[in-house]
Amino acid sequence: MRAIIGHYHPARLVWQRFLGHRLAAISALFLICLASLVLAAPLIELAFGLDQARVDIFNNFAAPSVQHWLGTDEIGRDVLLRLLAGGRVSLLVGLVAAFAGSIIGTSIGLLAGYYGGRTDTMLMRLTDSVIALPLLPLLIILAAVDLTKLPLPAGLAQSDAVSLYRVILVIALFGWTTVARLVRAGALTVRARDYVTAAAALGVRPRAIMVRHILPNIISPVIVATTLSIGAIILLESVLSFLALGIQPPMTSWGNMLTNAQDLLSTNIFLAVYPGLMIFVTVIAFNFLGDGLQDALDPRAIRR
């Protein structure tokens, strides 16, 4: 009996369904390897005695070698180390912005779905208004704002990492709408169930009901939507950085690596191929991962 129960444990079934989606499993393995490499980039720099920001104009456009596996760029910086540094920034933007947007969307969706009535109407009209905004032009305008003219601490407004904070904040503020609508739809369904009605009758506070009884039953679509949004955010950050409105030097991202390489296509096309390929493969991997999680977490999914 214990063996049968263990065999049909929900977590085990989810894991088996996920592994049955081969592209999702391969994508997860790729993303784990990529994350490990970008986190280990400082150790790789120490091992090779290099620095991704070190300029060596006498060794520019060097061919791949034992020391520089992917060669060097126009001012002698190691391309592989810059790819890893750029991946660290691009993945950070995608993960943090997606997680922050998920928190905002989940909060709004829970409030709208649980309370209903005017609260629901007001929050959903707010969501519809954000959806109706032309996202990319709006992000371009917000990313172009001069932070030194805003009432911000001078150290923050002039720091090297301020462009990173701004991109994450801007994308998170407008990237929560999908999660909000999914959570609202799930909350409307779950709040009508008997255990929620019983908890309310026993005097449990609405906040506790939403967190303990409703949210755990609708968390699956939130996880899937958040995973799928990471790839879209990485692509969006790359577009902003390519337009010189995203991550600014001296910080490195795949997007601003493409910006630097666009004038060097005739000299060394691989300076554009490498970051472009990393963006493409990473976004596709997150999309496949989201598809696999959707199949695995769907209780109605047929076990292949």
DSSP state letters, 245-302: SSS-TTS--HHHHHHHHGGGTTT-THHHHHHHHHHHHHHHHHHHHHHHHHHHH-TTPP
The closest alpha carbon to 176, from 184, 166, 165, 186, belongs to 184
What pLDDT score does 5 carry?
A: 45
Residue 72's DSSP bridge partners are 78
What pLDDT score does 300 carry?
A: 59
User: The tokens of 196 are what?
Assistant: 């929620």
In the block, residue with structure tokens 């000299």:
267
What pLDDT score does 266 carry?
A: 81
First to last CA, the chain: 24
Rounded to whole angstroms, the Cα distance separating 228 from 98 reads: 9
- Classify residue 64 by its DSSP letter: P
What pLDDT score does 132 carry?
A: 87
Query: Could you tell me which residues come within 8 angstroms of residue 66 by beta carbon, excluding any fewer than 6 positions away?
Result: none
The CB-side HSE value for 259 (13 A sphere, CA atoms) comes to: 19
User: The tokens of 102 are what?
Assistant: 């998920």
What pLDDT score does 1 carry?
A: 41
- Classify residue 211 by its DSSP letter: I
User: What domain range includes position 253?
Assistant: 8-60+67-297
Taking the model in full, what pTM does it have?
0.87
Residue 78's DSSP bridge partners are 72
Helix pair angle (219-242, 270-297), 10° resolution: 170
Count of structural domains within the chain = 1
In a domain, 1, yes or no: no
User: The tokens of 230 are what?
Assistant: 């990471």
What CATH number is attached to the domain comprising 246? 1.10.3720.10
What pLDDT score does 106 carry?
A: 94
- Classify residue 208 by its DSSP letter: H
What pLDDT score does 12 carry?
A: 80
In a domain, 89, yes or no: yes
> Is 236 in contact with 230 (CB distance < 8 Å)?
no
The closest alpha carbon to 214, from 242, 193, 245, 239, belongs to 193
- Classify residue 210 by its DSSP letter: I
In a domain, 304, yes or no: no
Q: How many residues does the chain have?
A: 304
User: The tokens of 301 are what?
Assistant: 């999914």
> Is 259 in contact with 241 (CB distance < 8 Å)?
yes
In a domain, 138, yes or no: yes
Per-residue confidence in pLDDT tens, the chain, 304 aa: 444 444 556 678 878 888 888 899 999 999 999 999 999 988 988 888 888 888 888 888 888 888 888 989 888 899 999 999 999 999 999 999 999 999 999 999 999 999 988 999 999 999 999 888 887 787 778 777 777 777 777 677 677 788 888 889 888 888 899 999 999 999 998 988 888 889 888 888 989 999 888 998 888 889 989 999 999 999 888 888 888 778 888 888 998 898 888 888 888 889 999 999 999 999 999 999 998 888 887 765 544 4
In a domain, 25, yes or no: yes
What pLDDT score does 9 carry?
A: 65
